[in-house]
Amino acid sequence: MPPLRLAFSPDADDLFMFWPLLSGKVDAGGIEFVHERVETEALNARSEAADAPDVCAVSIAQLPAIADRYLLLPHGGSVGRGYGPVVVAKKPMTLEELAGKRVAIPGARTTAYLVLRILVAPHGTFEPVPIAITPFARVFEALDHGEVDAALLIHEGRLTYEDDPSLHRVVELGEAWRALTGDPLPLGGNVIRRALGEDVVRRVSQACRASIEWSLAHREEVIDAIIASGARDEAKVTRARLDRYLGMYANADSAGYDAGVVRSIHALLARGADHGWVARANIELAP
């Protein structure tokens, strides 16, 4: 069998989960992987391409677009429990006041964008202004220069904005989602191509689960490896902040979705479909 193509983001939680698998720390079940690291919105786009990866990290909001070709792996997710992406602005502003404003978003397929649309919908709509996640400083420059009225921050940006006293938090999506639904906020997950067949899907799922469990059991070693790689230097993330970030998004939820998270995935996508923003689709979990 040729090597399987694995694609995930440069984000610290993805690196944390896949590092043992790619470093030979766990048994890959006789499967060889080649990998690429691509930013979140580019991963969402890649999952729709003719040469889409065999295993791909995607936004939960992207699942309906690819459900006919991919299964959702039952582990490897990023979940916010009362926290999540953050909207910030240069002046105090309420969620209701985002209606009619220009808001920087990290991509039209991202879960953060879908959730923000759902939250703002009772008050109107906002103008999305796509700004790529890299270079990391670009979204903050857009705020400083008045190109946008507010910015939706994901990945480490939702922590590093705290260093800038000129920025005001408008809404934390995970907090608002929990207030609205009572559920955790599922943000991202890993998918695997159905065409690989049941046996390969099972073996890959086992290998990915083992990789996550190894990282959780050897957390400090993996953090050391991420720092040594320089992979997140551009995001200016300190060790303390990396530790905090991984505590939020690479944890027991990453080891496996519980019933509440699965329920929330379906509820989120159903709300999006009710608005016509995503297709209605049957989201199936791999073994």
Residue 235: what pLDDT?
Answer: 57
In this structure, the number of other CB atoms found within 10 A of the CB of residue 51 comes to 6
pTM (two decimals): 0.95
Residue 176: what pLDDT?
Answer: 97
Cα gap 72→277, rounded to integer Å: 20
Residues of the chain below pLDDT 70: 230-237
Residue 121: what pLDDT?
Answer: 98
Query: Chain centroid to CA 123: how far?
Result: 26
| Domain coordinates in residue numbering, the chain | 4-79+185-274, 86-181
pLDDT digits (tens, 9 = 90+) for 19-39: 999 999 999 989 999 999 999
Residue 228: what pLDDT?
Answer: 86
Residue 52: what pLDDT?
Answer: 97
Residue 231: what pLDDT?
Answer: 61
Q: List the catalytic residue out of 155, 168, 218, 275.
A: 155
Strands (E), 144-229: 150-153, 168-172, 185-193
Domain 86-181 is classified in which CATH homologous superfamily? Periplasmic binding protein-like II (3.40.190.10)
Nearest to 229 by CA among 37, 61, 51: 37
Residue 232: what pLDDT?
Answer: 58
Residue 233: what pLDDT?
Answer: 56
Tokens of 26: 């766990």
Residue 37: what pLDDT?
Answer: 92
Q: Topology of domain 4-79+185-274, per CATH?
A: D-Maltodextrin-Binding Protein; domain 2 (3.40.190)
Query: Chain centroid to CA 111: how far?
Result: 7
Nearest to 40 by CA among 131, 103, 133, 179: 133
pLDDT digits (tens, 9 = 90+) for 187-204: 999 999 999 999 999 999
State yes or no: is 155 an active-site residue: yes
Classified as helix, coil or strand, 147 is: coil
| Widest Cα–Cα separation across the chain | 56
Query: Comparing 4-79+185-274 with 86-181, is the CATH topology the same?
Result: yes
